Amino acid sequence: MNIAPKDTWNHEYYEILEFFFWESQHLGKKKNPESKYDSPQKVFAHLKTMEVTLNHMFNIFFSLLPDEELNDIFSDIFGTKIHDAFSFSSQETRSYIESIGSITQPDLLFSGGQNLVFIEMKVQSKTSLDQFMKYLLLSILADQQADKSRKLHLLYISKNGLHELFEEKYSSMDEAKDALITMVLPTISKNGGMDLLPYHDQIRTAVNRVNLCFCTYTDFYNLLQKKMAQANHPVMIKLMQGICRELEDRDMSHV
């Protein structure tokens, strides 16, 4: 059941962008008179097909989500009880990734005392076994820097079904894990030329311990609809309404 009002906070995001569309000089830019995106309507139609703008929405949502609700959502998604105090900030994430080596750039990273959570968001693009391997390596480097071993959770969320998530067309997450275990791992990273050979055994160990999950945006939408029906705090309801409305606007709220 759709319980989101017409005017939700996600629309404010586009209102802000519309201001800079008309007043681009504030960004030190000039309008391109030859651009096919010559009206706000055309711009917004384009932006609502982009993965990066949806990432922005999820970053806003998760940065405002209280710990209790965040743990509750993670527990439902990953199928295990999660109770942790997470640090989450898109800017901090970028700085953090750079500090331990730019192996891969997660869309969302939540660093806790006992848990490390990655979320990889896909709209049109696919993921690969190589990117899965990079996430495992990133978790190893993160734990080394933190001097602790944490439970690892990795969620892929996509518009399409699991069979369309990987370039290799795996039919299950277990199949992807099995493929990585038998994969000939690279000895040098493509970005930065990092020596990966010392991490091969740790990567294969991480395959066995990672809580690897998948859901569609429709699944996530339905979960938030359920949470909204149970919520009694108006701010929490409004926060979830904004994400639900964005998914509705993108035609991602139903199969």
Confidence (pTM)? 0.89
The first and second tokens of residue 73, run together, are 């959502």
Averaged over 51-73, what is the pLDDT?
94
What backbone phi and psi angles, to 5 degrees, belong to 77?
-70, -45
User: Which ranges constitute the DSSP H helices of 147-233?
Assistant: 173-182, 200-209, 217-230
Collapse the DSSP code of 145 into the 3-class scheme (helix H, G, I; strand E, B; otherwise coil) and give the result: helix
Per-residue pLDDT tens over the stretch 156-204: 999 999 999 999 999 999 999 999 999 999 888 776 677 889 999 999 9
103 vs 78, residue with greater confidence? 78
The first and second tokens of residue 106, run together, are 């997660």
Collapse the DSSP code of 197 into the 3-class scheme (helix H, G, I; strand E, B; otherwise coil) and give the result: helix
Tokens 């995106």 -> residue: 37
Residue closest to 212 by CA, chosen among 167, 252, 179: 179
